[in-house]
Structures are given as structure tokens and as C-alpha cells.
Structure 1
């Protein structure tokens, strides 16, 4: 596929989203010798291409040099940014900045028609070597979905692709990108150093290589179309090795796509067609071995400028970091030009067994759990979903709270479920006061039990001597927090009447709520002549068990 490159400036369509595989099937590793069998670049039969290949991984490891790899954000909004350069107008380099954002970092707002919308802003600045801002663009975008869940029960995360174009003179720059969620005002920031190559010289030259997850003929114009093609970028430049073997056991390739442009080819004077050859090769960063790929020869283009696309089956590549080089040879003039870029192949772990849809009883139990740990907005979202949606919601809810996502166990969910079950059967229910405290704060280090007597109703004091949830900074001056539960109704049901923990019920007069006799009689019993005399209201908080 080739032709003369043109710069398209199109309208701003709705954000295009696609799925990024997080959990993938274990694929069959094929020997290096199979490269020449299956590693053929192909004319892009793009209808078979699947955009679900942008990996959930850290692209900063690919190559090490920030000039060579995409940039990942820091802050509360997670995104990655990459850039490619092409020949622009009037000696400038035309730049395309590619963004991959994860909606899990956005706050989705429900609209009246049942659509959930995230509104966010991209602030892109280009700064030269003298720290002068030579370009700035602030653009507002929207992400819309009919589901508030950003991670499906198949372990896939929905992602958002964005693209912003710019033009600068050739030189060395750094791009500063800030993505802000306008609903929550959370933001993330990334800096991407890059070199804008001079592509307007008289000799043969090749643009930057744009790694893509899908290239096909464009059906309509949007920010991802150029020269009649829909080119979906892969801002991570990471491709996952996963495969679903057909039932007949035949091999099924997975392609990465490469878009690039060539300038100043020498056309034949009679036909005005230029003929060129492409020699791709891949170099492994692990062993520095270079493997030539089959060439594409006798390619023709009308005029002196053209574009080309390569579809490369990467399923036979071992996991690792690579440099892909494209060498273009002008058949008429005999001149050559090259362009190269770093990419990475990753092998995800085997996925967990497929999740089944919750039953009605399981969905109700999930709702009871959310009542303890989830926000009001999250509970409302859950209530409006069907059973499949509730299943996806709970998977996403706990995935975002997994302290060790690299392991198959979700420790937070396991601890919560254990506490929930114990509270349900041993503490009068997970929704009871004691059950709620146990689930949220864990097992107390000490429990004082005071049975009912002639003066006071039964009560318990739970101590957290190492601090609430093991945090020593949350203890009182006496070195421990406490929760007081009293049987106020005298029916064996303990209710929270006082606590020293922040955000919990604070009632220093809790003992008066548990008195069995009239307060004036209690004062007389303790030696006070009249109710107007001063009396102790409660024991010091460092030791609430004192009478």
C-alpha cells in the first residue's frame, strides 16, 4: 500500500476507545528459526487486525533512553504519550502526539440518557533547548460509555486514544503534557523529549516510524485518518503475545502495523513513477543480534514522495525489547535512507478462570459488602446495573484495590471477605456496629467485657494498642484507640456508643446511656448530696474502662 502523503486536518470526532488486554491466554512460543516461516511482513489484510494489543505495562523499560521510548505520566491520572514526525510545510516538521488514557483515572458522570461521560483536558506544550515554549494547545475531550465499569470481567481495560498535531522547526525539544479530569480536577503529567528530524532536504529521507494496532482504509475522516487510511496508534509501543488457537489447531498470526513516509525518491522521467525497495530488520536488545526480515521489492509510487505500511506477525518473537529498522533504497538513484524505532513484546501471565455472572443472592451479598466499603456514588452505580454489569463492577472494584496486582491473589479482597464472613456469623451481622468496626479495622488487640450489674448495662471495649489498622500515628496520647459497644436496649445487641478513632461516634457521656438506675440515685449512691454538685462525667479516654 503506497501513495503520496498528504497532511489532513480534520474535525474533532468522538473519542475512539478500544480494549487493552490485561489478562491473556498463554500462547505457544515458537523457535527463532520460525521467523522466516511466520515472520513474513504482509500486505495489511487489515480487516483481520485487532486493536486489542496495547499492553498494560510500563513502557519506560523499553530502551532506557527517554528519547527512544514513550513517556508515562506521574500523578493521579494515568496516561502515556508518544510522538512521530513527518515532513511538514515551509521546512517544518509535522508532529503527531499520541495519547493513551485509562478511564479508571477519570470520574464518570451519569447523564439522563444512561450514558456515562468523562470530560478531560489535554494541555500540550513544546519547549525548545532554550526553555522557550514554541507551541501550546489546550483541548477538551469527552469519553462516553454506556457502562460505568472500566474493567470487564474478561480482564480487559477500556482505554481512550487521543491525538494532537503540531508543527515545529527541526531541532531538539521536550513535550510537556498535562491531562486533567475536569470532573474531579485530578491530573497527571508527562514529559517526552524528542528530536524533530529535518525532512525537507533534497536527498532521500524516511519519516519516523509510527507503531499502530490497526491500519485500514478509512470509512470517514477523523483525527486518526491520514492519506485515506485509518491509523490507530499504539502510544505504548508494547505488544502482548496472546493467542486463541482455532479449533482446527492452525496457526493464527497477530500483527503489529507500521506506518511511514518517504521523501525525494527519483521518479522515472517517462512514467513519473519512482521504484524503491524496503529492507526491514529487527535487533534484539537482549543479545544484540540482528535478524533481517523478508524485503519488499519493486514498490512503485507516483511522483517523488510516498508512504508505505508493513504488517508484521510478532507472535514468533520471544519476549523482549527490540529495535525495528526500515531501510529504503531508491532503485533509480541507488541512494538509501533509514529510520528506526524501539518496541517491546511482553508475555502476560495466564488469565484466571473466566468469571461467571453473579446469581441474585451473590449480587445481594456484594451490595451488602459495598454498603460498608464503597462510596455513595459507587453504590448507586451498582444498583442501576444488571447481573452481568454487577459482576463486572465488583471485579473492577476489587482490581483497583489490589495492593499486589502482579500476583494472582487479591489480598485486600481476601481479607475483607474473611472479616465479612466472621462478622456475619459471630458478631451479629456484618451490618451491626461491631461487625462494621471489625470489617473496617480488623481484629482488636484486646477486648474488655463488662457484664451487666445493678448499675450498668453490659458493654465491651475494643482496644487497638498498635493504632487503628496498625497505624501507630492514629493512637491517642495513651498509645491506643478504643471502641465502646453497649447493650443499650438490654436485648443482647451491642451498639457503638463511643470511640476515640477519627470519624467515629464520639460521646464522652456514654456511661450515662448505659445506666440501669436513675442518675440521681447513682449520684446519691456515690456520695453526692445534690445533682448540682460536680461529678465525674467519664473516665479519661486513655482508659475508658475505669468506673
Structure 2
């Protein structure tokens, strides 16, 4: 088996440890604002039809919020239309709903994933989506292939933001084992460089008395079909029909531009091949935001200031957050000048010791706590490190037959001694805060139950 030099993880369908996803996620290249996004993928269906899945992200700020029983309830109608040869053949209105404590605290980068599916004959369709009562609309022309013959076929590719444990009635449940969270914007950057996707393979040739092999090649091409990044190939024994193949690659080596992710499946038994492509977008390196702030806010661009705000939110009061969000470039520069100056423990010295310490914590978090979906500084460990500094002691508990791995961070000089409990619930070295004894932080007295297999 040959693997690419790029980081690559292949999630097998029988793996029990899967990533737990929040239903709200940040736009890939935060601090870019979230926007209404639309994508689709077709899979094998029944009775000569294909199964078309349509994926959306809805800006959370677009919802109409009303207070009820101590919470704010938000909703907005999402209207989807499908046309064939100029005639509308399908219309659907879905009510996208959410809850929050305070809509004023919702960031412009937050988006809600959504999806729907329907059986449809092969053909070329126009899919359009609109958030009712707004000017936000998007459309795409989509070719739905025929997967119901006997030839080797690869389904369309679905780009995903995360895998989650299935929950009853979830629209994201798939294969009986996963909730697959779509990523319809397909926008990547140095700050969000991990490409996650899945596809299915149909009509593999195999028999009980002869081992059958197939090869999957993965590469990224520009629009002129020039190879931009070879993600390698892997060889497997032929699986059962409709085997979902789920992959993850680090594509940070790419330069910016619009490209095609291409999957080629080669049946090594009979020589048959099948291709599938998905359009993706990579921001130019100079458009990506460095996570380590500069010393002088007055020389920072608005994107850099927004990125700094995104990292430092745990240190800001609600008043400071509202002030920053209502500021222009010059006001944002002044905001951070004041932010650092007010916290400088020794104004008479040349350097701001507080700023240097915060920069050190950010740098450490990014070096040690990065995961495929979050930067280290914005991970749960990074946030606690940013707020309270380095722990006095860390207890590390490895995985056992009855428990997932976890850590306990001890701070002896806070409130007479507090602890923070982080568990690798997903099994992908992505530790989340599962309990704390610190007042005002997340607490779960039954935190042990989260660690059970």
C-alpha cells in the first residue's frame, strides 16, 4: 500500500470512535462571514432513480429571533426549487430552527448546516435556494449520474466538515452509524487546511474463491487538468456493495485557486476504471490570517484584527465584544491598543508583559493542541490555557477497555484549587472540556459517563 506524504486519515466504516460534531460551526476561513452556501451529491438509488442529497449552510445571524421561556428561539424558511429544462419540478420549504441565550452574541462566522434528499431520475438540473424574507439566494446546475447499471461506478463526492454520532431523527444520519455533517462551501485555507470527504463505490467485481483488489487514487487538479497535489493511492480488497469510503487530507501545500478534487477507482481484477470530481476552493496564502497577533495593532489589517478578536474572545467582557463588533478599522485598532494598555502590569517598561504572555500561550496552544477542525488556540484546552495560564499539574489517563483517554489540569492558586477535565471523546486526539470545578465554567458531575465506550 502506498500513501501520500501528505497527512492522511481514512475513517473505516466499522470504526466505533468517531468525531462528535457541534451543529454550529465556524466558516472555514474565519473571520470571513458565513454565507448561504449550496452543494449537492448524487448516490445510487432504487428503481432506476438516483438519490440526490442537497447541502446548505445558513448564516446563524439570518434567523429571526424571539424570546420565549428564558431562551431565544430563531427560525427562517429555506426555500429550495429544482428545475429541469426550465420547468420547476420540485419545491420545498424547510423551517431552519435554532436556540440561543442572546442573539447579540452570535458571531457573523457562525453557520448552521442543513440538508435534504430526494429520489430523482438521472439528468441535468438547476437547484436554487433562498432564505425567505432576505436577499440571500444561490443556485447551481447539477448533473445527476445514472448509477443503476452494472458498470464500475464512483458516486459523487460529498465534502464534509465532521462526523458525529447519529441521533434519533437527525437529517444527517447516514449508513446507520454516522451523522455526516456537510461542508457545502468547500472553502479551504491555511487556517482550515483539512479536506474531509466521502464517496461510494458500486459494482465492484469480487468472488468468494478469488481475492479481488481495487486501487483508489486521489489528486487535486487545476481547471486546466494540471496536477496540483498528488494525494497518493491505496489498494484494498474488494468490499461489499455501496461501501462508503471516507477520507481526510491536509491540503495546506496548495496555492490559492479554484480546483477539482478527483477520485479514480481502478478495479485491478478486470482493469475497469471510474472517476468522480468535486470543485473546491483554496484561499491564497496571503488571504489566510496568522493566528499569532502582531505587537502593534495600528499596523494590522481589519482581517488580522478580526482574527485576533476571534482568538481573544474568552478574555473579553460582553461590553468589549459589543464595542468591537460596532467598530470600523480605525476604531478596532484603537480598541486593541486600549485592550493591551489596560492590562499592562508594568507600563513603565518597554514591553507589555501581559501581551507577551498571551502571545506565548497562543503559540504554545497552536503548537500542541491543533486538531483537524480547530486551531490549538481556539480548542477547549487552548481557551483554558488562554484564560488561566499553564496548569500547575497535569494528570494523564490513557485509554482502557472501559474508558476513553482523559486529562485533569490542576490550578492550585485559583479559588483554593480547581480542576479542568478534558476527554478525547471522539478518539481522534481532540480533547474537549467535559467538567470543571471552577465557578462559571462548564460542570458535569457525571463526567465519567462521557468517557465510557
Q: TM-score, normalized by length of structure 1? A: 0.50
Rounded to whole Å, the distance in 1 between the matches of 2:101 and 2:121 is: 43
Instruction: Find the residue that maps to 2:232 and give its secondary structure.
Output: coil
C-alpha displacement at 1:295, in angstroms?
0.9
Query: Corresponding residue for 2:362?
Result: none
1:354-376 deviations in whole A, cap 9, x for unaligned? 456899xxxxxxxxxxxxxxxxx
The TM-score, its normalising length taken from structure 2, stands at 0.60
Q: 2:28: which partner in 1? A: 54
1:209 aligned to which of 157, 162, 180? 157
Shift in alpha-carbon separation, 1:394–1:108, aligned structure 2, 3 A: farther
**Cα gap change, 1:270/1:36 in structure 2, threshold over 3 Å: closer, same or farther?**
closer
Secondary structure, counterpart of 2:179 in structure 1: strand
Query: How far is 1:224 from its partner?
Result: 1.2
Query: Matched residue of 1:199: which SS?
Result: coil
**Cα displacement string for residues 71-95 of structure 1 (whole angstroms, at most 9, x for unaligned residues):** xxxxxx9511111111112111211
Unaligned runs of 5+ residues in structure 2 are 291-303, 335-453
* Deviation string, structure 1 residues 417-457 (Cα, Å, up to 9, x no partner): xxxxxxxxxxxxxxxxxxxxxxxxxxxxxxxxxxxxxxxxx
CA deviation after TM superposition for structure 1 residue 345, in Å: 1.8
Aligned length: 307
The 5-angstrom pairing of residues 484-503 of structure 1 reads none
- The equivalent position to 1:349 in structure 2, one of 270, 284, 289, is 289
Aligned Cα RMSD in Å?
A: 3.5
Does 2:141 correspond to 1:193?
yes
SS at structure 1 position matched to 2:239: strand
CA separation in 1, counterparts of 2:314 and 2:231?
49
Counterpart of 1:294? 232
Deviations 1:461-481 (A, max 9, x none): xxxxxxxxxxxxxxxxxxxxx
Counterpart of 2:36 in structure 1 is: 79
CA distance in 1 between partners of 2:251 and 2:26 (Å) = 14
The offset of 1:319, in angstroms, is: 2.7
Whether 1:37 and 2:5 are equivalent positions in the alignment is yes
Residue in structure 1 matched with residue 375 of structure 2 by the alignment: none
Selected match of 2:92 from 137, 142, 165: 137
Contact residue 53 and residue 240 of structure 1 kept, 8 A? no
**Whole-angstrom CA distance in 1 between matches of 2:323 and 2:41:** 39
In structure 1, the residue matched to 2:77 is 121
Q: Secondary structure at the match of 1:198?
A: coil
1:374-408 per-position Cα deviation (integer Å, ceiling 9, x unaligned): xxxxxxxxxxxxx733333333344xxx5xxxxxx
Q: Is 1:329 the counterpart of 2:266 in the alignment?
A: yes
Q: CA deviation at 1:339?
A: 0.3
Alpha-carbon separation, structure 2, partners of 1:126 and 1:57: 32
Distance 1:52 1:106 in 2: 16
Label 1:212 to 1:333 Cα distance change in 2 as closer, same or farther (>3 A).
Answer: same
Match of residue 160 from structure 1: 112
1:241-281 deviation digits (Å, cap 9, x = unpaired): 128xxxxxxxxxx522111011111121448x864221111
Q: 1:226 and 1:196, CA in 2 relative to 1: closer, same or farther beyond 3 A? A: same
Aligned partners of 1:274, 1:225: CA distance in 2, in Å? Answer: 30
d(CA) in 1 for partners of 2:19 and 2:67? 34
The DSSP-based 3-state class of the residue aligned with 1:138 is strand
Q: How far apart are 1:316 and its partner, in Å?
A: 2.6
CA distance in 1, matches of 2:196, 2:280: 12
Q: 1:286 to 1:345 in 2, by over 3 A?
A: farther
Shift of 1:225: 1.8
Deviation of the 1:331 alpha carbon: 3.0
- Alignment partner for residue 316 of structure 1, among 223, 243, 253? 253
Offset of residue 286 of structure 1: 8.3
Q: Where in structure 1 are there 5+ consecutive unaligned residues?
A: 1-34, 60-76, 244-253, 360-386, 403-408, 416-547
Which protein is richer in strand relative to its size? 2
Aligned to 1:389: 318
